[in-house]
């Protein structure tokens, strides 16, 4: 019953524009975030259909339920996979199931359609290609991919090896395979639900969309390094970073929302993550020059965004275009500030920037502005075999979509400190160095080789130059002494 009460509460707030649906879900501190998110998303998508069903059967009058709660209950009862509760609510709803199903059938006949999805407006309908696979990331902190595959095979699943093309991801029943791009990712039928599975409850697998796995995989911080997850909650990417780092080094995770951090703490505990330091702090207020961050070399930045790439939210825009554009502009400004701030850490080597947005304002335009303001960084070309690239000219970046990658909409860019910066600094240092030291600079090596250099050919070039220079002065003095002695002696 708690699931439906919380879903109704969030649905009501979302319909009143009291917050973004995704934020409201993660702020709820509900134990099973994924289940709650899926229920609210689907109910909101079918909202108009559900309201028509409820009104035509006069359900509210007969049950004394409020509309938001009636919607989530009716969705699972007649459109979903059945009610997941017991008690009085289930007893009440089961009394009205036949009338609700009959009314749904009449609606389909009237509109001459056979599927529930076909009742939706065209913009909200999903094609067969949009039915995303169920992606499962193996948590290598607790098990291996091979052991997870063996366990699933013993549990009745049919393993089909590694995928080699996008079409392989169309799976049925209990078949599964290994992803073609990410080695620790397993792919299942869209209808598979692992929330009650032992591997999930034990933290051996993480339910995470494929596109969401890209940032940590591409950043690839080595074990023992100091890494920052700048906007960390709800924590899937954080746990992935910890797995890549093999739970060694230091992983500083920041999030401004205390409730989201609390949920994240539970997730990380289940995943066996021990190398993190959680901080209820605004990343923009973290001092890059602070001694505690002097060794930070890698940053994962996945800031707040429009969420337009999420399948259930992609058409969740208001009718006020001016308001939507203003919101995108505000988000892009915030994202650029975060990106610029991340690049200020003095020893930073790489930063990965990602969003679950399809809008160029939040993706390519933010990265372009950042590169113009930070010439010491450049883009790293990513996964040549990935089927969808960033918009021109930023083809080094990756995009993801339901049609081309069978994932939620996503964007990833990897920024790397430019090596030329280090070379310029070395040249400047040589130009301003002491004249006596300047004798050891590379241009001195242009002098003709002396016989002594053959014996010293294994010495560093700088040592040879300095050695030759040091020996030249005594040789000149010796020649002068010989000439003076011969002149003093005179003719015999």
Q: Binding site annotation covers 312?
A: no
CB 116, CB 101: distance < 8 Å? no
Strand stretches in 30-157, DSSP E = 134-138
Active site residue 356: yes
Q: Binding site annotation covers 232?
A: yes
CB 33, CB 26: distance < 8 Å? yes
Q: Name the DSSP letter for residue 77.
A: I
Q: Binding site annotation covers 233?
A: yes
Q: Decide: helix, strand or coil at residue 221.
A: coil
Q: Binding site annotation covers 247?
A: no
**Among the options 41, 275, 305, 356, which is catalytic?**
356
CB 47, CB 70: distance < 8 Å? no
The pair of structure tokens assigned to 487 is 């002149």
Q: Binding site annotation covers 235?
A: yes
Q: Binding site annotation covers 456?
A: no
Run of H or E including 351: strand 350-355
Comparing CA positions, the residue from 334, 375, 374 lying closest to residue 355 is 334
Place of tokens 């700088």: 462
Q: Binding site annotation covers 237?
A: yes
Q: Binding site annotation covers 282?
A: yes
CB 299, CB 351: distance < 8 Å? yes
Burial profile 118-150: b = 16 or more Cβ within 10 angstroms, e = fewer: ebbeeebeeeeeeebbbbbbbbbbbbeeeebbe
Q: Name the DSSP letter for residue 130.
A: G
Q: How buried is 247 (Cβ within 10 angstroms: 0-12 exposed, 13-18 middle, 19+ buried)?
A: middle
Give the C-alpha separation, 201 to 271, whole Å. Answer: 9
Q: What angle do CA 423, 425, 430 make, to 5 degrees?
A: 95
The two counts, helices (H) then strands (E), for the chain are 18, 13
The pair of structure tokens assigned to 203 is 């933290």
250-254/226-229 β-pairing: parallel
**Alpha-carbon separation of residue 334 from 283, 313, 320, 350, 392 (angstroms):** 12, 21, 22, 20, 23
Give the C-alpha separation, 264 to 311, whole Å. Answer: 23
Give the C-alpha separation, 466 to 444, whole Å. Answer: 9
Q: Binding site annotation covers 309?
A: no
Q: Binding site annotation covers 231?
A: yes
CB 43, CB 14: distance < 8 Å? no
CB under 8 Å, gap of 24 or more: what pairs does 87-94 form?
Answer: 87/1, 89/1, 89/4, 92/63, 92/65, 93/63
The pair of structure tokens assigned to 304 is 């707040």
Q: List the binding residues.
A: 231-237, 255, 282, 302
Q: List the binding residues for S-adenosyl-L-methionine.
A: 231-237, 255, 282, 302
Residues known to be catalytic: 356
């Amino acid at each position: 019953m708690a699931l439906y009460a919380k879903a109704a509460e969030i649905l009501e707030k979302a319909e009143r524009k009291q917050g973004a649906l995704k934020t409201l879900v993660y702020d709820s501190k509900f134990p099973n975030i994924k289940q709650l998110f899926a229920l609210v998303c689907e109910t909101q998508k079918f909202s108009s259909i559900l309201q028509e069903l409820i009104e035509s059967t006069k359900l509210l009058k007969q049950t004394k339920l409020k509309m938001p709660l009636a919607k989530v209950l009716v969705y699972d009862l007649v459109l979903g996979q059945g009610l997941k509760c017991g008690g009085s609510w289930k007893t009440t709803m089961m009394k009205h199931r036949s009338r609700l199903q009959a009314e749904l059938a009449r609606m389909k006949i009237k509109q001459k359609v056979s599927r529930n999805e076909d009742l939706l407006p065209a913009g909200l309908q999903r094609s067969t290609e949009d039915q995303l696979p169920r992606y499962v990331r193996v948590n290598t902190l607790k098990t291996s991919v091979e052991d997870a595959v063996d366990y699933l095979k013993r549990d009745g699943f049919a393993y089909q090896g590694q995928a080699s093309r996008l079409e392989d991801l169309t799976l049925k029943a209990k078949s599964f395979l290994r992803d073609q791009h990410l080695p620790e990712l397993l792919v299942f039928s869209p209808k598979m639900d692992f929330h009650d599975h032992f591997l999930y409850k034990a933290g051996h697998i993480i339910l995470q969309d494929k596109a969401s796995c890209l940032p940590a995989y591409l950043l690839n911080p080595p074990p023992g390094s100091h890494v920052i997850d700048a906007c960390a909650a709800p924590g899937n990417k954080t746990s992935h970073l910890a797995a890549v780092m093999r739970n060694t080094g230091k992983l500083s995770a920041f999030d401004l929302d205390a409730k989201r951090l609390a949920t994240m703490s539970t997730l990380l505990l289940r995943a066996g993550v021990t190398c993190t330091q959680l901080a209820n702090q605004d990343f923009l207020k973290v001092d890059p020059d602070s001694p505690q961050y002097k060794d930070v070399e890698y940053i994962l930045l996945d800031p707040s965004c429009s969420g337009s790439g999420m399948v259930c939210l992609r058409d969740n825009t208001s009718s006020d275009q001016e308001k939507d554009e203003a919101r995108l502009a505000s988000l892009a400004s915030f994202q650029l500030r975060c990106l610029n701030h991340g690049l200020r850490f003095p020893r930073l080597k790489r930063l990965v920037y990602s969003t679950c947005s399809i809008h160029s304002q939040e993706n390519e335009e933010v990265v372009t502005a950042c590169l113009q303001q930070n010439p010491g960084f450049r883009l790293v070309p990513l996964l040549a075999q990935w089927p969808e690239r960033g918009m021109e000219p930023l083809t080094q970046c990756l995009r993801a979509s339901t049609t081309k990658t069978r994932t939620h909409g996503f964007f990833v860019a990897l920024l790397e400190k430019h090596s030329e910066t280090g070379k310029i600094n070395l040249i400047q240092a040589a130009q301003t160095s002491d004249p006596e030291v300047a004798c050891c600079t590379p241009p001195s090596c242009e002098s003709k080789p002396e016989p002594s250099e053959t014996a010293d050919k294994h010495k560093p070039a700088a040592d040879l130059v300095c050695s030759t220079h040091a020996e030249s002065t005594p040789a000149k003095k010796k020649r002068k002494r010989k000439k003076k002695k011969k002149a003093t002696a005179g003719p015999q």
